[in-house]
Amino acid sequence: RAAALFSARGGDLAAHIYGVPATAEPQGQDAAALRGHVAKNKDGESDSDEELFVPRQRSSSGGAACDAEDPEAPDTVRDALDEAHLAGWGDPGAAERLRDRFVTGDWEAAAQR
């Protein structure tokens, strides 16, 4: 799901954004976010008492930040960047791929963007 957000897909991007409303109307419960949580609750109820009071385990903040539907997602504008992915910019030749985005690159190639 996180990958879908970062891909520049075609027309269904709008549906992806506006498919889930920000508000949560109690009678509707049609938000996908709510549905996910209701389903989780039902799974937990069926088993023994020990599981009754087990708090929901949070994944690391990095994982949670990548989920636009999580109602408890951390409130930050900063996108949790994968460190391994960032370190990839240190590979030889990696920075060179961005050459045309700089004034030192090909201006005609940049103008076509």
Residues that bind another protein (CB under 8 A): 2, 5-10, 13-14, 16-18, 20-26, 31, 33-34, 55-56, 58, 65-68, 70-79, 81, 83, 85-87, 89-90, 94-105, 107, 110, 113
Q: Supply the minimum distance, in Å, between the C-beta of residue 105 and another protein.
A: 7
Closest approach, Cβ 12 to another protein, in A, equals: 10
Q: How far apart are CA 13 and CA 3, in angstroms?
A: 12
At residue 83, φ and ψ (nearest 5 deg) are -65, -35
Of 47 and 81, CB closest to another protein: 81
Sign of the Cα pseudo-torsion (107, 7, 88, 82, in order): positive
23, burial (CB in 10 Å: exposed 0-12, middle 13-18, buried 19+) = exposed
Q: List all residues 6 or more positions away from 66 whose beta carbon is below 8 Å from its beta carbon.
A: 2, 5, 79, 80
Q: Tell me whether residue 26 or residue 48 sits nearer to another protein (CB atom).
A: 26
CB of 39 to another protein, least distance (A): 14
Element (H, E) at 103: none
Q: Which is nearer to another protein, 48 or 64 (CB)?
A: 64
- Which of 48, 70 has the CB closer to another protein? 70
